[in-house]
Amino acid sequence: MKTLVIYDSIFGNTEKIARAIGAALGAPDEVPVLQIGAVTPAHLAGVELLFVGSPTRGFKPTPAITDYLANLPAGALSGVKAAAFDTRIPLESIKNRFFRFIVKQGGYADKLIAKALTAKGAALAIPSGGFIVLESEGPLQEGELERAAAWAKTIL
């Protein structure tokens, strides 16, 4: 099954998650893991399984991920199984009540990525995943790389 992992990353945490997902699904030459700026239309040709991930920035994916998905032609992902993921600060760790309320209302990037994937014809293979960073710049919470690998393997 031709698989591709696409991500954007600000501080490197989402890249680490993307690479853990790719490694869990096969060798690097079998499962490319590409930063969004390196993705060309040729990379999507024949893809059967697509993972797309972003850090949550202002309750949504990065502009690069959002723009990339928005600019795919209608039906570009028809027949593709897909999964969305993000990195995020967990709601329960936000101390300021007002900010916690805002985050609860605004949500995280994974849901918007999943919505964009299905809008372009993809079928979601698994529920989207959110992976925890301890501060806005990281690091990842201990065990998140292993959890990302296990999450990705549930598709298999």
The residue written with tokens 């690091």 in the block is 139
Tell me: pLDDT of 94 over 80. Answer: no
Average pLDDT, the chain: 94
Is 90 in contact with 108 (CB distance < 8 Å)? no
Is 86 in contact with 112 (CB distance < 8 Å)? no
pLDDT for the residue numbered 106:
80
Q: Delimit the domains of the chain by residue range.
A: 3-153
The tokens for 132 are: 């925890």
Tell me: pLDDT of 91 over 80. Answer: no
Please give the average per-residue pLDDT across 126-144, as a whole number: 94
Q: Which of 3-7, 36-40, 80-84, 93-97 has the lowest mean pLDDT?
A: 93-97
Q: What is the pLDDT of residues 34-59, one digit of tens each?
A: 999 999 999 999 999 999 999 999 88
Q: What is the pLDDT of residues 114-131, one digit of tens each?
A: 999 999 999 999 999 999
Please give the average per-residue pLDDT across 100-104, as a whole number: 77
> Looking only at Cα atoms, what is the longest distance across the chain?
47
Tell me: pLDDT of 4 over 90. Answer: yes
pLDDT for the residue numbered 31:
97
CA dist., res. 11 & res. 29, Å (int): 25
pLDDT for the residue numbered 63:
98
pLDDT for the residue numbered 115:
97
Q: Which CATH superfamily groups domain 3-153? A: Flavodoxin domain (3.40.50.360)
CA dist., res. 133 & res. 135, Å (int): 6
